[in-house]
Amino acid sequence: MNFIEAKNYTENTGSAGIIPGTDVIKELLGRLGNPEKDLNVIHIAGTNGKGAICSYLEYALSECGLNVGRYASPSVFDFLERIKVGLRNITEEEYAEAVTRVKEAAEGMKIPPTGFEAETAAALTFFKDKKTDVVIVECGMGGREDATNVFESPLAAVFASVSMDHMRFLGNTPEEIAVNKAGIMRKNTPAIISKMPHVYCEGEDYDPAGILEREAQNCGAACIRCEENIIPEGFENPLHGKYQDDNLNTALWTLRTVEGRLKELFPNKEISHDIYMRGIAKTQHPGRFETISKSPVIIRDGAHNPGAARALRDSLYSDKTLPENKKIHLIMGVFKDKDYREILRIMLPGAESLTAIDLPDPVRGLPKEELVKAAGEISGELGKEIRIGYAGSLKDALKQTESASPEDVYLVFGSLSLMQLFKEN
C-alpha cells in the first residue's frame, strides 16, 4: 500500500465507530509477534492533560539521549503527528509500510480490527523496528477497554485529570469513568495520579484522584499522588495556561518515579533531573492556551469538555500578560456529543460575545445554528446580554479582530479539530 491507501485502511477498516475491548487488538498483535512486549512503556490515561504530560516526558527523555517513541491519537495539526520517534513524525512511507504489515496480519481474522486498533498495532510495530528505548502511549479513550491497554508491565501508568467526557462509552458518573481509566493499572507498577479537582455530578461530589487511589490499592499498584509541587522555584513553564502547572508537576513526578528503572535499563545514558529540566524547557504542544497573535490578542485552545473549560476559564483570568480590563470574545465550534451546554454555562458569564462556527467534521459537529440557539437560551438563564451569532468559517469569524480594541481578547476553542482550520487562514 502507498500512504493514501494505508490512511484509507486505518480510517475505514473493520466495524465502523468505536468498539471497546482488547480481544481483537491482542489477537492482531499476536499475529505480528507481540511487539508490545519488547517496549518500555509509560502509559497515560485521563480526560484532560494527557497530551501535555506526554509532551513534557517526550522532550525530557529525548534530552537524556534516549530514543523516544510517542503514540497519541487523534492528531491535531498533521495526520502523521500521532506516531513519532525522536521528536519527528512518522513519514508517509514508514506509515504505509507499518500499516501494510498490519493489514496482512489481519487477513483471516474473524473480527477485523477497527481503524484505531489497526493503527495502534502499526505504531507498536514501528516502535519495535526503530529500537525505541522508551515509548509514551496515550490512551485513545478510557483505559480498561482501550486498544492501547495491552502492556503487561509498563514502567508506569500515569493519570491526568479526570472529568466527564465520553459518557456513552465510559460511564455516567465520574466514579464510573475513573474506574474505567484505572483499568490500565498493573500490580507492582507505579500508578501516578495527578492533582485534580473534585467533580460535581447530579448533586454528588466525586473525588476522582481518591477513586484512582482506591483502585490502585485494589489491584496492588504502587500509588503515587502528585499533591506536592516539585516544579523548581523560578522555572518558567514553556506551556502557557494555569492548568499546565499541574500537568508539568505530574510529568516531573513520573520522571522521578521511573528514573531508577531507566538508569538500570540504560546505564550509558545521562539521566538526571537537570537534563530533564533542560529538555522540558524546549517542550512544544500547540493548540493549548496558545497565543497566536498579540495585537490583537488571539488565543486558541482545544478545550472540549466541562473540566477543560473550567481550566481554560481560570487561565484566562489568572494570566497576567492579558489586558487587565479584558473583554473576552468567544469563537466556538463543538462536537454534538459533547456537553456543550455546560461548557457554555462555564464560559459565557465572562464573555462579551460568542461567534459559532462549524467543525471540519459535518457528521459529528454541532451545527453552528444549534450552538447559537443553545447559547441564547443559556445567556437568558444567566440574565446577561451577550452578542451571539455565527460565521461561515473561522476566517470569517476572525475578521472581527480587525477592529479590535487593546482590551479585546479573542478565544478560539471547543474542539481540537478546530486547530485544523488554522491551516486554511
Confidence of residue 208 (pLDDT cuts 50, 70, 90): very high
The answer to whether domain 290-424 has CATH 3.90.190.20 is yes
Q: Report the distance separating Cα 44 and Cα 41, nearest Å.
A: 9
* pLDDT for residue 196: 92
Q: What percent of the chain has pLDDT over 90?
A: 79
Tell me which of 23-32, 102-111, 161-170, 174-183 is least confident.
161-170
Q: Which residue has the cell 522540558?
A: 280
More confident residue, 339 or 200: 339
And the C-alpha cell for 72? 497519541
Confidence of residue 168 (pLDDT cuts 50, 70, 90): very low
Kindly state the average pLDDT of the residues 257-265.
98
Confidence of residue 165 (pLDDT cuts 50, 70, 90): low
Say how far residue 237 (Cα) sits from the centre of its chain: 18
Pairing of strands 83-85, 68-71: antiparallel
Q: What is the rounded average pLDDT for all residues in the chain?
A: 92
Alpha helices in 266-406 (DSSP H): 273-280, 306-318, 340-347, 368-382, 394-398
Tens digits of residue pLDDT in 315-330: 999 998 999 899 999 9
* pLDDT for residue 204: 84
3-state helix vs strand vs coil in the chain, percent to 5: 45, 15, 40
Q: Which CATH number fits domain 3-280: 2.30.40.10, 3.40.50.300, 3.40.1190.10, 3.30.360.30?
A: 3.40.1190.10
* pLDDT for residue 170: 54
Tens digits of residue pLDDT in 262-293: 999 999 999 999 999 999 999 999 888 999 99
CB 185 within 8 A of CB 157: yes
CB 251 within 8 A of CB 138: no
Written as one string, the DSSP assignment of 227-279 is: -S--SPTT---SS-STTHHHHHHHHHHHHHHHHHHHHHH-TTS---HHHHHHH
Q: Delimit the domains of the chain by residue range.
A: 3-280, 290-424
pTM: 0.91
